[in-house]
Chain A
Amino acid sequence: LAKTTQPISMDSYEGQEVNITCSHNNIATNDYITWYQQFPSQGPRFIIQGYKTKVTNEVASLFIPADRKSSTLSLPRVSLSDTAVYYCLVGDIRDNNQGGKLIFGQGTELSVKP
């Protein structure tokens, strides 16, 4: 499974846009990129998933360049409640032998300040 590298921590202020970049140089052709958010004492929560180009939902956008060796999670206008750990994961969601299993990297601890 492709290994991911993210910044260990980031700081931001309320109302700013936050971009968290994840490197996955060994991404395979069939791999998808998935981001999860985790608050203390809670399980991770799915944010967004993509394969290429750009994906947008109600909470975030995911930008994936053509070579797919990196991806950027964009959180528009963050609030204090967005303070959490953000995980980037790469894997083949169609490979049933893997069971869609997720290998979590170290994650990025985002701290949003007033």
Chain B
Amino acid sequence: DAMVIQNPRYQVTQFGKPVTLSCSQTLNHNVMYWYQQKSSQAPKLLFHYYDKDFNNEADTPDNFQSRRPNTSFCFLDIRSPGLGDAAMYLCATSSYRGVSGNQPQHFGDGTRLSIL
């Protein structure tokens, strides 16, 4: 089945140690998103790619970076994780079809990041 895959499901890192989360998709969607979801809160959009065009949300900390080397893969880099960055990180994809607009987003099941 076509899907959005996030690896690993659980990631533990040390305070200040860079960490990378990965997302892959088999849907061939041209838009990919990263969300942060803290416990008992709604997902919060960090940034998204439309093809190779990167769009950062105004309130996304500089500590968070992203890379999209090709259509299928997208990475979230946290340069110096702090305790406040412990959260579930969700990747999503959608297909933007011009006049029809964006199709509904497909989400992966997330990577839960813990900071020691």
A interface, CB within 8 angstroms of B: 32, 34, 41-46, 49, 87, 92-96, 99-107
- Residue contact B33 to A101, C-beta cutoff 8 Å: yes
Q: Does B50 contact A (CB under 8 A)?
A: yes
List chain A residues, Cβ under 8 A from B45: 101-103
- Residue contact A107 to B42, C-beta cutoff 8 Å: yes
- Residue contact B105 to A99, C-beta cutoff 8 Å: no
The docked-state distance in angstroms from the alpha carbon of A43 to that of B42 is 11
**Number of chain B residues close to chain A: CB under 8 A:** 28
Q: Which of B50, B99, B108 contacts A99 (CB 8 A)?
A: B50
The docked-state distance in angstroms from the alpha carbon of A3 to that of B64 is 25
Q: Does B92 contact A (CB under 8 A)?
A: yes
- Residue contact A42 to B109, C-beta cutoff 8 Å: yes
Nearest first, the 5 A-B pairs at minimum CB distance are A100-B102, A43-B107, A94-B101, A104-B42, A93-B101
Contact with A along B40-54 (1 / 0, CB 8 A): 001111001010000
The docked-state distance in angstroms from the alpha carbon of A76 to that of B29 is 32
List chain A residues, Cβ under 8 A from B105: 44, 46, 100, 102
The docked-state distance in angstroms from the alpha carbon of A41 to that of B10 is 11
- Residue contact A43 to B92, C-beta cutoff 8 Å: yes
Q: Which of B44, B94, B101, B110 contacts A43 (CB 8 A)?
A: B110
List chain B residues, Cβ under 8 A from A105: 42
Tell me which residues from 96 to 115 in chain B have a Cβ below 8 Å from any Cβ of chain A: 96, 99-110, 112
Across the two chains, which residue of chain A brings its CB closest to B100? Answer: A94
Given A93-B101, A94-B99, A99-B102, A104-B43 contact (CB < 8 Å): yes
Q: Does B31 contact A (CB under 8 A)?
A: yes
Closest chain A CB from B35 CB (angstroms) = 8
Given A96-B50, A99-B55, A100-B96, A41-B109 contact (CB < 8 Å): yes
Q: Which of A32, A41, A44, A99 contacts B48 (CB 8 A)?
A: A99
Across the two chains, which residue of chain B brings its CB closest to A91? Answer: B102
Given A41-B109, A42-B109, A44-B107, A100-B90 contact (CB < 8 Å): no
The docked-state distance in angstroms from the alpha carbon of A42 to that of B110 is 7
